[in-house]
């Protein structure tokens, strides 16, 4: 699949929710030699993250975001025909989390509900799915909920990941209207599946008692089989190779110059990486919003969270934007959205 296009389907509202608890990266200085620690902080650009406490789940953050968005827009909840829950951290393996959210939000029983699991490219992928449903004559509105609690499976003693991952939730309303064109490019390369994974998290390498045993690795990192592993250099090389090329492909298809785009909203993974993209694309850095310094890498949540956190009042007039997500899988996607004019709630904290 190369390119998917839609006409007159768009985003009417976005909300985002983060936990109140702040995890300051300065507290991890003992993991690194002093000079390495300061360099790491400056390179990735993450000063702090938000992390959940207790049994708070991604669905709780998404519920708060969705409830506020529906109320703020005064949307009749009977008009929601499809609910999509995008997350790697569901409430349970079985059942899916989306039907529970349908019930809690007071949506009709005829609402089609399903979960999607797809890491940091997930918002772009699931947004394309939401657009496809909203494009159908029989569908009024689609509610896309993207949420993650990555802190639950990150080792605080792993040098590759301890500084990176935060928690958050979001809600996006997609519907028909005078939105112009939307173009999606969706891509994957499963040969890189092992560079970012949780080993004992499914049925290929099932969980055992030994999965909880901590192991010390050559770089001094400590983690167990239920915690995320990342080969940072391989991930970096993958993004450098694929992300700018895919963005240029979408621009060529849309017959646009890079400077025709009002904003580029990259997945918030690493500030050095994102700065490099902007430089390589010859795109003004002041038109690339950042929130990574406050929230870290929230995976599939990072694009809508970045919009709500940093772009209040930016979409009062129609804008041309690029959304770019990339990560585990390996998977990456780019979306061009024309005439983006949508309501943004204030950021929610719970």
Catalytic residue among 17, 62, 120, 342: 120
Token pair in block for residue 133: 């449903």
Catalytic residue among 57, 62, 187, 267: 267
| 267 assigned to active site | yes
- Tokens 């896309």 label which residue? 144
**Alpha-carbon dihedral 330, 63, 89, 290, rounded to 10 degrees:** 40
Q: Which residues pair with 222 in a beta bridge?
A: 216
What is the C-alpha to C-alpha distance for residues 349 and 344, in angstroms, rounded to an integer? 15
Catalytic residue among 297, 306, 339, 342: 297
Decide: 86 and 301 in contact? Cβ < 8 Å: no
- Give the contacts of 119 (CB within 8 A, at least 6 positions apart): 88, 196, 299, 300, 327, 328, 329, 331
| 297 assigned to active site | yes
Decide: 165 and 150 in contact? Cβ < 8 Å: yes
**Alpha-carbon dihedral 113, 123, 295, 164, rounded to 10 degrees:** 110
Decide: 88 and 129 in contact? Cβ < 8 Å: no
Q: Which residues pair with 80 in a beta bridge?
A: 141
What is the C-alpha to C-alpha distance for residues 64 and 57, in angstroms, rounded to an integer? 11
- Give the contacts of 31 (CB within 8 A, at least 6 positions apart): 37, 157, 159, 162, 220
What burial class does residue 156 get, using C-beta atoms within 10 Å of its C-beta: 0-12 exposed, 13-18 middle, 19+ buried?
middle
Please name which of 62, 80, 61, 74 lies closest in space to residue 20, comparing C-alpha atoms.
Answer: 61
**Running DSSP on this structure, what letter comes out for residue 150?**
G
**Catalytic residue IDs:** 120, 267, 297
């Amino acid at each position: 699949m190369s390119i998917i296009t839609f006409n007159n389907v768009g985003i009417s509202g976005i909300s985002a929710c983060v936990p109140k608890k702040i995890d300051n990266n300065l507290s991890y200085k003992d993991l690194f030699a002093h000079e390495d620690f300061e360099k790491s902080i400056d390179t990735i650009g993450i000063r702090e993250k938000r992390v959940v406490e207790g049994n708070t789940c991604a669905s709780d953050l998404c519920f708060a975001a969705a409830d506020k968005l529906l109320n703020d827009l005064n949307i009749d909840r009977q008009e929601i025909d499809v609910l999509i829950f995008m997350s790697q951290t569901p409430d349970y393996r079985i059942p899916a989390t989306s039907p529970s959210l349908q019930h809690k939000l007071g949506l009709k029983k005829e609402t089609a509900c399903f979960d999607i699991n797809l890491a940091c490219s997930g918002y772009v992928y699931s947004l394309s799915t939401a657009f496809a449903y909203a494009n159908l004559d029989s569908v009024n509105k689609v509610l896309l909920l993207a949420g993650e609690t990555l802190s639950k499976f990150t080792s605080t003693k792993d040098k590759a990941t301890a500084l990176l991952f935060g928690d958050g939730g979001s809600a996006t309303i997609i519907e028909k209207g005078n939105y112009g064109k939307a173009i999606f490019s969706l891509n994957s390369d499963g040969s890189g599946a092992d560079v970012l994974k949780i080993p004992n998290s499914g049925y290929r390498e099932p969980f055992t008692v030994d999965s909880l045993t901590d192991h010390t690795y050559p770089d001094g990192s400590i983690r167990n089989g239920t915690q995320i592993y990342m080969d940072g250099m391989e991930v970096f090389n993958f993004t450098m190779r694929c992300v700018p090329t895919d963005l240029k492909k979408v621009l060529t298809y849309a017959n646009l110059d890079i400077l025709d785009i009002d904003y580029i909203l990259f997945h918030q993974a690493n500030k050095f990486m994102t700065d490099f993209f902007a430089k390589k694309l010859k795109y003004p850095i002041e038109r690339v919003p950042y929130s990574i310094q406050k929230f870290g890498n929230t995976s599939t949540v990072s694009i809508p969270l970045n919009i709500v956190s940093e772009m209040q009042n930016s979409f009062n007039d129609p804008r041309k934007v690029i959304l770019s997500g990339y990560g585990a899988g390996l998977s990456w996607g780019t979306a061009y959205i024309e005439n983006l004019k949508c309501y943004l709630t204030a950021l929610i904290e719970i």
